[in-house]
C-alpha cells in the first residue's frame, strides 16, 4: 500500500507539487524518477535485511522493515512543497523515498519466504499466492483512496491539502501491522535447517567445521548447501521477476499518468480501472496459485507470458482509443494477466528455486534487481519514448519485451512444484 500510494501520487500530483517549473512532460519524467529511486534503496535493503533474515530468522526482520516503511510514508504526507521551500522540497521527498525503499527491500520477500515455508507442499502455490493478495489489497486500498479524493475534491483542494491524507492515514496501517507481527512465530523451515543452532544460523567457517566433524568426506546435507556453486537459480529467478515487475511499472504507474495527461478521459478513469482490476485480482491470484499446484509452475508461466505478449498491442490500442470503456477494459485485463497472474506464480516459484540457507537474501535481491531494471527504469523509459514518438506503441513493445524475458527464463527453469524447502541447496 505504501508504495502504491507513492506511485499514484507520482503519476497524478507530484509533478505539480514538487516540479512545477518545467513542462508537463518533463515534470512527469521527473516524478517517475523520484518513484524509481525507491527501487535503488530497496536493493540495499534487500541485501542488508535479506542476510539478516537468513542469519537470525524471518520474524525479526519483518518487524524492522514495517517500521521503516511506515514512518517514512507518514512523513511524506507532512512534507512542504516546492512553493513553500523551493528545491529543498524534492530533495526531502527523495530522501524519504529512499528510507521507504530501504525498508521495503525485504518486506515482500520476507512475507513470501514465511508463507511458502509454512505452507503444505501440495497447497504451497495457493498459500504463497496470499502474498500477491496482500500486495493486491494494498494496491486496492491505495487506488480506492485516490479514487475517492479525485472524485470528491476539486483540483485546487487536491493540490493544497487532499494529497496528504493517504500518506498521513497510512500511520494507522503501520500501527496495526506492528501489532500483528508481534504475534508471529518463526518459520518452521528456518528452525529445522541443518545449519541453525539455538535460533541463529552458522557462519560459513562454522559450517565447514561442522561438516568436518559430522562427516569426514563432506557429503552430508550441510556440505551440499554450502558448497553448491551459486548463480544459475538466481539468474533464472531474476528473469522470472522481469516480466511481472516491468509490466507492473507500466500498467500500475506509468499508464495512470499517461492516460491522465494524453487522453481525453476523466482524471479518475485510470485509477478506477486499477481499482476494478485489483478487485478482479482477488479471483485471479488464488486461481493461478491453485492451477500452479495442479499443473506445475513452469507450464503456467509459459502460458501467461505468451498470452501477455499476444495481448500487448491489442490492449494498448484499446486504451489509446480514448474511450472510457476501452481504457477500463484494457487496464483491467493488462493488470490481471500481465501483472497479478505472474505475481501469483512468482511468489512460490522464487521461494522454491532457492535453498533454505540463502533463500531470503537471494529472493529479496532478485526481486529488487528486477525492480530496478524493470519497474523503476520502465516508467521513466516509457515516459521518454512516448514523448519522443508521440505514440503509445513503445508501451506495448516494452510489455512484449518484458514478458519475453520471463518466457525464456521459465523455459530454462526446472519444475519446482513440491520441492522440500528445508534443503539447503538451490534447485538449479
| CATH fold label, 2-196+204-412 | Growth Hormone; Chain: A; (1.20.1250)
What is the distance between the alpha carbons of residues 64 and 53, in angstroms, rounded to a whole number? 11
* Cell reading at 376: 523503476
Close Cβ partners of 132 (under 8 Å, ≥ 6 residues apart):
281, 285, 289, 340, 343, 344, 346, 347
pLDDT for the residue numbered 197: 75
CA 388 to chain centre: 28
pLDDT for the residue numbered 217: 47
Domain boundaries, the chain: 2-196+204-412
Burial of 75 (0-12, 13-18, 19+ CB in 10 A): middle
Run of H or E including 259: helix 255-262
pLDDT for the residue numbered 218: 45
pLDDT for the residue numbered 147: 82
Tens of each residue's pLDDT in the chain, 428 residues = 887 788 778 777 877 888 776 666 666 666 667 666 777 888 999 999 999 999 888 888 988 899 999 999 999 999 998 888 888 888 888 888 889 889 888 888 998 999 999 999 999 999 999 888 888 788 778 878 888 888 888 888 888 889 899 899 889 988 998 888 888 888 889 888 877 877 787 776 666 666 655 554 444 666 666 666 778 999 999 999 999 999 998 998 888 888 888 887 877 788 889 889 988 999 999 999 999 999 999 999 999 999 999 999 999 999 998 888 999 999 999 999 999 999 999 989 999 999 988 999 999 999 989 888 887 788 889 988 998 998 999 999 999 999 999 999 999 999 999 999 998 889 98
What is the distance between the alpha carbons of residues 328 and 154, in angstroms, rounded to a whole number? 23
What is the distance between the alpha carbons of residues 127 and 124, in angstroms, rounded to a whole number? 5
**Phi and psi for 200 in degrees, rounded to 5?**
-135, 135
CA 134 to chain centre: 11
Q: What DSSP letter does each residue of 236-252 carry, written as one string?
A: HHHHHHHHHHHHHIIII
Beta pairing partners, 200: 197
What is the distance between the alpha carbons of residues 100 and 38, in angstroms, rounded to a whole number? 7
Report the sign of the C-alpha dihedral through residues 308, 296, 280, 241, in that order: negative
Amino acid at each position: 500500500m505504501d508504495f502504491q500510494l507513492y506511485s499514484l501520487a507520482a503519476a497524478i500530483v507530484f509533478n505539480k507539487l514538487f516540479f512545477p517549473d518545467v513542462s508537463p512532460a518533463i515534470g512527469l519524467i521527473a516524478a517517475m524518477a523520484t518513484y524509481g529511486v525507491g527501487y535503488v534503496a530497496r536493493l540495499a535493503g534487500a541485501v542488508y535485511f535479506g542476510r539478516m533474515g537468513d542469519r537470525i530468522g524471518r520474524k525479526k526482520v519483518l518487524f524492522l522493515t514495517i517500521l521503516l516503511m511506515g514512518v517514512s510514508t507518514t512523513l511524506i504526507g507532512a512534507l512542504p512543497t516546492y512553493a513553500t521551500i523551493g528545491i529543498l522540497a524534492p530533495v526531502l521527498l527523495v530522501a524519504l523515498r529512499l528510507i521507504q525503499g530501504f525498508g521495503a527491500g525485504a518486506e515482500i520477500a520476507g512475507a513470501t519466504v514465511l508463507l511458502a515455508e509454512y505452507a503444505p507442499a501440495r497447497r504451497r502455490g495457493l498459500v504463497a499466492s496470499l502474498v500477491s493478495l496482500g500486495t493486491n489489497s494494498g494496491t486496492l486500498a491505495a487506488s480506492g483512496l485516490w479514487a475517492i479524493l479525485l472524485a470528491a475534491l476539486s483540483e485546487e483542494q487536491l493540490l493544497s491539502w487532499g494529497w496528504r491524507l493517504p500518506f498521513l492515514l497510512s500511520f494507522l496501517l503501520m500501527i496495526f501491522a506492528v501489532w500483528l507481527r508481534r504475534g508471529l512465530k518463526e518459520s518452521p523451515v528456518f528452525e529445522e535447517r541443518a545449519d541453525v543452532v539455538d535460533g541463529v544460523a552458522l557462519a560459513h567457517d562454522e559450517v565447514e567445521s561442522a561438516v568436518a566433524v559430522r562427516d569426514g568426506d563432506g557429503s552430508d546435507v550441510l556440505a551440499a548447501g554450502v558448497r553448491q556453486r551459486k548463480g544459475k537459480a538466481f539468474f533464472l529467478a531474476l528473469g522470472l521477476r522481469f516480466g511481472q515487475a516491468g509490466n507492473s511499472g507500466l500498467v500500475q504507474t506509468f499508464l495512470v499518468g499517461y492516460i491522465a495527461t494524453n487522453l481525453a478521459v476523466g482524471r479518475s478513469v485510470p485509477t478506477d480501472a486499477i481499482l476494478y482490476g485489483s478487485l478482479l485480482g482477488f479471483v485471479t491470484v488464488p486461481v493461478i496459485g491453485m492451477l500452479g499446484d495442479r499443473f506445475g509452475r513452469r507450464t503456467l508461466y509459459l502460458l501467461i507470458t505468451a498470452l501477455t505478449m499476444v495481448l500487448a498491442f491489442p490492449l494498448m490500442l484499446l486504451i489509446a482509443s480514448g474511450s472510457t470503456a476501452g481504457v477500463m477494459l484494457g487496464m483491467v485485463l493488462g493488470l490481471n494477466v500481465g501483472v497479478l497472474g505472474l505475481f501469483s506464480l512468482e511468489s512460490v516459484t522464487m521461494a522454491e528455486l532457492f535453498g533454505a540457507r540463502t533463500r531470503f537474501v537471494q529472493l529479496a535481491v532478485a526481486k529488487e534487481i528486477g525492480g530496478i531494471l524493470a519497474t523503476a527504469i520502465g516508467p521513466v523509459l516509457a515516459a521518454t519514448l512516448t514523448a519522443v514518438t508521440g505514440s503509445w506503441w513503445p508501451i506495448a513493445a516494452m510489455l512484449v519485451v518484458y514478458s519475453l524475458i520471463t518466457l525464456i527464463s521459465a523455459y530454462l527453469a526446472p519444475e519446482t512444484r513440491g520441492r522440500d524447502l528445508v534443503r539447503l541447496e538451490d534447485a538449479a
